[in-house]
Amino acid sequence: MKKVFSIIFSFTYLISFSQEIENTNPFSGKFDLGLSYTKNTEEIFQFNNVSQLKYETKKQVLLLNNNISFINKRGEEDILNKGNQDLQYSFKINNVNSNISIHYLYDISRSIKRRWSTGVGFSTNLLKKDENNVTVGLTGLKEFEITTTNEEKLTNRLESACNFSFQINKNVKLEGFTKFQPNIDQFSDYRLNNYLSIRINLSSQFLLNINNVFNFDSMPEDGIPNTDYQIINSISYTF
pLDDT in tens, 165-177: 999 999 999 999 9
Does the residue 13 lie in any domain?
Answer: no
pLDDT of residue 41: 53
Range of the domain at 223: 27-238
Band of residue 39 on the pLDDT scale cut at 50, 70, 90: low
Does the residue 11 lie in any domain?
Answer: no
Q: Does the pLDDT value for residue 12 go beyond 70? A: no
User: What is the tally of structural domains in the chain?
Assistant: 1
Does the residue 6 lie in any domain?
Answer: no
What string of DSSP letters covers 183-201?
Answer: ETTEEEEEEEEEEEEEEEE
- What mean pLDDT do residues 125-132 have? 88
Dist CA 112 CA 107 (whole Å): 5
Spatial contact of 79 and 110, defined as CB atoms under 8 Å apart: no
Band of residue 2 on the pLDDT scale cut at 50, 70, 90: very low
Q: What is the pLDDT of residues 72-125, one digit of tens each?
A: 877 776 777 889 999 999 999 888 999 999 999 999 888 999 999 999 999 999
Does the residue 105 lie in any domain?
Answer: yes
Does the residue 59 lie in any domain?
Answer: yes
- What burial class does residue 32 get, using C-beta atoms within 10 Å of its C-beta: 0-12 exposed, 13-18 middle, 19+ buried? buried
Does the residue 7 lie in any domain?
Answer: no
Q: What is the CATH number of the domain that holds 233?
A: 2.40.160.40
